[in-house]
Amino acid sequence: MNIGNKIQKYREKNGLSQEMLAEKLGVSRQSVSKWELNQSLPEVDKIVAMSKLFGVTTDELLIEPQGVEIKIIKAEKYEDVNKILELFQKNTTVIVNCEETDEEVKKQIIDRLTSEIEIMGGQIQKISPNTYVCCPKNIHAAKL
């Protein structure tokens, strides 16, 4: 999806007409139309303003997403953290299943993953009592 399609998608998602968006950005409706048709590109300050208005990052507006690779790992012992982090470093989204893991070991696993993944700029989200999603930068669990 290119930037024009993204602008249109987020504009519509936020219930804005081209004219309303143009007014908020201080441009003409025709400018917004040209952006959406990929006939021209918005200036950097307009991209920043739209990202704030739409509640998305500038990267989400500008960067074409690559295919998202997802792996499911059954974490039964603390040493499984290394395998999870190795996949994560390769920009893989990792779903961690701790269903059959001892509670103390599960806590150790999640504490280490949380610490390491945040250092790498990613995020970890609990999606059920025993399942966690480790997402690289620019990938959100809610969008998977």
Written as six digits, the tokens of 63 are 């960067």
Domain ranges of the chain: 3-62, 70-143
Among 79, 80, 115, smallest CA distance to 94 is for 80
pLDDT reported for residue 92: 86
- In 84-112, which positions are buried (b, 16+ CB within 10 angstroms) versus exposed (e)? bbebbeeebbbbbebeebeeeebeebbee
Question: What are the pLDDT digits (tens) for 7-32?
Answer: 999 999 999 999 999 999 999 999 99
The yes-or-no verdict on residue 121 having pLDDT over 50 is yes
- Tell me which range, 1-5, 103-107, 117-121, is most confidently predicted by mean pLDDT: 103-107
pLDDT reported for residue 69: 79
What are phi and psi for residue 103, nearest 5 degrees? Answer: -55, -40
The yes-or-no verdict on residue 142 having pLDDT over 50 is no
**Do 70-143 and 3-62 fall under one CATH topology?**
no
- Tell me which range, 17-26, 36-45, 53-62, 82-91, is most confidently predicted by mean pLDDT: 17-26
Instruction: Please give the residue that has the higher pLDDT: either 64 or 87.
Output: 87
> Region 68-83: what's the mean pLDDT?
89
Exposed / middle / buried, residue 128 (Cβ in 10 Å: 0-12, 13-18, 19+): exposed
Mention the CATH class of domain 3-62: mainly alpha
Beta strands in 67-138 (DSSP E): 70-74, 93-97, 123-128, 131-135
Instruction: Please give the residue that has the higher pLDDT: either 91 or 51.
Output: 51
> Region 31-49: what's the mean pLDDT?
91
Note whether 10 and 58 are within 8 A (CB): no
Mention the CATH class of domain 70-143: alpha beta
In percent, the amount of the chain with pLDDT more than 90 equals 51
The yes-or-no verdict on residue 114 having pLDDT over 90 is yes
pLDDT reported for residue 67: 65
In percent, the amount of the chain with pLDDT more than 70 equals 90
